[in-house]
């Protein structure tokens, strides 16, 4: 590749999904082949570009792209190891979700609109990952809100419109808080690039209260998307969206954008030193710990499969926040690796829930009795995903929980391990009965609305293949956790390279 092209690599990665997305908007509903081609072209192109960038970043190269935007705050796209973690996660899962969505929405109306926004959504996520300063981050964060709203209300039912309104109310006010926080910091320190170790240390002497306010605003703004208690209200309702949207929302795009933002703010804006000096970690730690238990507790009571998964997300994403708030290197590794692991596991679970709904019309948990015989592959994927959520090896979830636990012990907060144990117990309480029903339950009534989607497989291959792919990822990430390719090694690299811990 030409050297000048390399400079544009971050921009190209964003454009590789943005341009196909814009083109798709102009397509007619019947142009299925062209639309599918554009979708897959975008995915492939992005994967190739991301691969190039990954190679480069591993070698220690840096990519940097700047356009003038506001006075004192340029639009910056750059690639460090941390942004690459998120970029790889979102583009790989985008591949799976695109295929899934094509299969899922076959013969349903308004697909051009859907896939257009779908691509926009991924562009915004990738842009947010590559953002080089807070202003750029904010811009993509807001874009993400706008791109996901049409996806949430896609079905157009009163229920989904209500969910969409709620989603918009939560995320827009969150965006507002975030903007206030960003502007406050801009006033105090300008908007320099994200720096490992933060850039606010010089301000510590002058105004600590303003910094605390800014931190609170930023976390509150990001906490809406990361579904931190008490800002989680939109998430369970938003599960009325089509399954691929829920999958993307819960695994990569929205929820993770919030969690990723929290990582950025704590490590690259404030820095561990400043967070410690201002005593900012404690409230975040307690809030995250409470959210973990609260989400799991609420998940117990849900009888709708997707709703149970939604509450489980609230709990699981807070593992990441908790790991960040512990402010230790091992906990940071755990948090980062959980960002990836949770994404892959949760997307698998949502794919499976979608498969059950599409193939047999199953929405309620008690309708799952004996489904293991009917759809063994999907059920296997669901089982492994659920075991991973509880934290049982060899699923990937165990690795992240192990590191989070080690991180808690490292910073002498053993009570946090108790939080993980309790959450694991609650996870077992709401996942294992489902698994039991799937495999050992006796089917007591006919499937709600069975459809024959494939003559060879248990369901349409485009629905089955993505879940098999992510199932493979879960096991590979868990079993081969210390190989060079694994998210764990990459997270260790990030912590080593970019998070400054004084040791």
Partner 1 sequence: MIDLSHLLWPGAGLGFTSAVSQGWLLFTLLLWLLALLYSLSSQQQDPRAGRYWLFMLLCFAGNVLLIAAQDALSFYLGFSMMSLAGTGLVLHSGTKQARRAGRLYLQLAVIGELLLFSALVLRASAAGGLYDWQSWQNVPLDHLTISLFVLGLGLKAGFFPLHLWLPQAHPVAPAAASAVLSGAMIKAGIFGMWLFLPATDPLLQQWGQGVLWLGFVSAIFGALAALCQQKSKQILAYSSVSQMGYLLMLLSLSWLLPPAQQSLALIALVGYAAHHAFAKGALFLLAGSASRYRFGTGDQLLLGFFIVSLAALPFTSGAMAKTALKQATAAFALPAANLLYLGALCTALALCHLLMRLKAEQLALLSQTSASNMPWLQRGPVLLLAVAAVLLSWSGVMPASASVWLPLGITSYTSLSLQALTAAAIWAAIWPLLMALPTYYLLQRFAGSWLLQLGRRQRWVFFTSLKLKRLYQPL
Binding mask 274-313 for partner 1 (x = CB under 8 A): --------------------------xx-x----------
Residue 125, CA atoms < 13 Å, CB-side half-sphere: 33
Among 391, 397, 466, 487, the residue binding partner 1 under the rule CB under 8 A is 391
Minimum Å gap between C-beta 188 and partner 1 is 38
Reduced to 3 states (helix: H, G, I; strand: E, B; else coil), residue 460 is coil
The packing angle between helices 81-104 and 243-251, to 10°, is 170
* 7/410 with CB nearer partner 1: 410
- CA–CA gap between residue 344 and residue 423 (Å, rounded): 19
Among 161, 216, 392, 475, the residue binding partner 1 under the rule CB under 8 A is 392
Q: Is 106 in the site for partner 1 (CB under 8 A)?
A: no
Minimum Å gap between C-beta 394 and partner 1 is 6
Residue 377, CA atoms < 13 Å, CB-side half-sphere: 19
Among 117, 234, 402, 499, the residue binding partner 1 under the rule CB under 8 A is 402
For 316-351, what is the HEC assignment?
A: HHHHHHHHHHCCCHHHHHHHHHHHHHHHHHHHHHHH
Minimum Å gap between C-beta 165 and partner 1 is 30
Among 180, 409, 465, 475, the residue binding partner 1 under the rule CB under 8 A is 409
Q: Is 406 in the site for partner 1 (CB under 8 A)?
A: yes
Rg of the chain in Å (alpha carbons) = 21
Q: Is 201 in the site for partner 1 (CB under 8 A)?
A: no
Minimum Å gap between C-beta 457 and partner 1 is 19
Q: Is 479 in the site for partner 1 (CB under 8 A)?
A: yes
* 9/408 with CB nearer partner 1: 408
Nearest to 411 by CA among 336, 333, 331, 335: 331
Reduced to 3 states (helix: H, G, I; strand: E, B; else coil), residue 73 is strand
Minimum Å gap between C-beta 86 and partner 1 is 23
Among 48, 162, 204, 425, the residue binding partner 1 under the rule CB under 8 A is 425
* 174/405 with CB nearer partner 1: 405
Q: Is 366 in the site for partner 1 (CB under 8 A)?
A: yes
Q: What is the DSSP letter of 480?
A: T
- The footprint of partner 1 on this chain (CB under 8 A) covers a number of residues equal to 42
> Under rule CB under 8 A, which residues in 428-457 are in contact with partner 1?
428-430, 432-433, 439-440
Among 281, 387, 463, 495, the residue binding partner 1 under the rule CB under 8 A is 387
Reduced to 3 states (helix: H, G, I; strand: E, B; else coil), residue 169 is helix
* 258/328 with CB nearer partner 1: 328
* 76/309 with CB nearer partner 1: 309
Reduced to 3 states (helix: H, G, I; strand: E, B; else coil), residue 63 is strand
Binding mask 330-349 for partner 1 (x = CB under 8 A): x-------------------
Report in angstroms the alpha-carbon separations of 359 from 353, 365, 453: 10, 15, 7
The packing angle between helices 243-251 and 305-325, to 10°, is 10
Residue with tokens 């933060």: 198
* 22/429 with CB nearer partner 1: 429
* 433/472 with CB nearer partner 1: 433
Minimum Å gap between C-beta 129 and partner 1 is 26
Q: Is 424 in the site for partner 1 (CB under 8 A)?
A: yes
Q: What is the DSSP letter of 392?
A: -
Per CB under 8 A, which region of 16-24, 77-85, 88-96, 415-423 contacts partner 1? Answer: 415-423
8 Å CB contact between 384 and 395: yes
The token duo for 408 is 């808690």
Minimum Å gap between C-beta 424 and partner 1 is 5
Reduced to 3 states (helix: H, G, I; strand: E, B; else coil), residue 70 is strand
* 344/463 with CB nearer partner 1: 344
Reduced to 3 states (helix: H, G, I; strand: E, B; else coil), residue 62 is coil
Among 34, 162, 418, 485, the residue binding partner 1 under the rule CB under 8 A is 418
- Strands (E) in 18-172, as ranges, are 63-70, 73-79
Q: Is 485 in the site for partner 1 (CB under 8 A)?
A: no
Q: What is the DSSP letter of 455?
A: S
Q: Say which residues have a Cβ less than 8 Å from residue 472's Cβ, sequence separation at least 6.
A: none
* 244/405 with CB nearer partner 1: 405
Minimum Å gap between C-beta 286 and partner 1 is 20
Q: Say which residues have a Cβ less than 8 Å from residue 158's Cβ, sequence separation at least 6.
A: none
Listed in sequence order, the DSSP H helices in 26-80 are: 32-59
φ/ψ region of 78 (left if φ > 0, alpha if ψ in -120 to 50, else beta) reads beta
Binding site residues, partner 1, CB under 8 A: 300-301, 303, 330, 366, 387, 390-394, 398-399, 401-402, 405-406, 408-410, 414, 417-418, 420-421, 424-426, 428-430, 432-433, 439-440, 478-483, 488
């Amino acid at each position: 590749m030409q050297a000048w092209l390399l400079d544009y690599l971050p921009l190209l990665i964003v454009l590789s999904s943005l341009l196909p997305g814009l083109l798709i908007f102009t397509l007619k509903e019947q142009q299925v082949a062209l639309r599918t081609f554009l979708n897959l072209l975008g995915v492939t192109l992005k994967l190739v570009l991301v691969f190039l960038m990954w190679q480069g970043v591993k070698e220690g190269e840096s990519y940097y792209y700047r356009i003038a935007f506001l006075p004192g705050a340029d639009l910056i796209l750059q690639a460090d190891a941390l942004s690459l973690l998120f970029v790889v996660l979102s583009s790989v899962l985008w591949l799976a979700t695109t295929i899934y969505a094509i299969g899922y929405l076959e013969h349903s109306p308004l697909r051009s609109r859907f896939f257009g926004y779908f691509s926009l959504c991924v562009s915004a996520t990738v842009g947010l990952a590559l953002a080089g300063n807070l202003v750029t981050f904010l811009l993509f964060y807001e874009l993400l809100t706008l791109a996901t709203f049409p996806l949430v209300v896609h079905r157009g039912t009163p229920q989904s419109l209500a969910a969409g309104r709620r989603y918009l109310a939560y995320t827009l006010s969150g965006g507002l808080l975030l903007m206030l926080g960003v502007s406050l910091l801009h006033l105090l320190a300008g908007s320099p690039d994200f720096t490992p170790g933060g850039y606010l240390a010089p301000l510590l002497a002058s105004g600590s209260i303003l910094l605390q306010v800014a931190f609170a605003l930023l976390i509150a703004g990001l906490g809406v998307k990361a579904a931190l208690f008490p800002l989680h209200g939109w998430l369970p309702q938003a599960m009325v969206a089509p399954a691929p949207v829920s999958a993307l929302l819960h695994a990569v795009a929205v929820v993770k954008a919030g969690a990723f933002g929290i990582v950025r703010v704590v490590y690259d804006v404030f820095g561990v030193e400043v967070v410690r000096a201002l005593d900012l970690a404690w409230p975040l730690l307690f809030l995250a710990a409470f959210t973990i238990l609260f989400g799991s507790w609420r998940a117990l009571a849900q009888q709708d499969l997707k709703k149970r998964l939604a509450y489980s997300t609230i709990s699981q994403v807070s593992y990441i926040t908790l790991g960040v708030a512990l402010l230790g290197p091992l906990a940071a590794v755990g948090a980062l690796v959980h960002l990836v692991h949770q994404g892959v596991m949760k997307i698998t679970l949502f794919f499976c829930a979608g498969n059950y709904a599409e193939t047999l019309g199953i929405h309620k948990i008690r309708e799952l009795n004996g489904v293991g015989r009917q759809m063994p592959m999907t059920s296997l994927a669901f089982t492994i995903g659920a075991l991973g959520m509880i934290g049982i090896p060899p699923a990937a979830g165990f690795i992240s929980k192990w590191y989070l636990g080690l991180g808690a012990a490292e910073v002498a907060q053993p009570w946090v391990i108790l939080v993980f144990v309790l959450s694991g117990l609650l996870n077992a309480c709401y996942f294992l009965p489902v698994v039991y029903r799937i495999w050992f339950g006796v089917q007591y009534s006919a499937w709600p609305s069975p459809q024959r989607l494939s003559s060879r497989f248990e369901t349409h291959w485009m629905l089955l293949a993505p879940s098999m792919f992510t199932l493979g990822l879960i096991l590979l990430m868990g079993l081969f956790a210390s190989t060079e390719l694994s998210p764990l090694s990459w997270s260790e690299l990030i912590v080593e390279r970019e998070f400054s811990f004084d040791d």
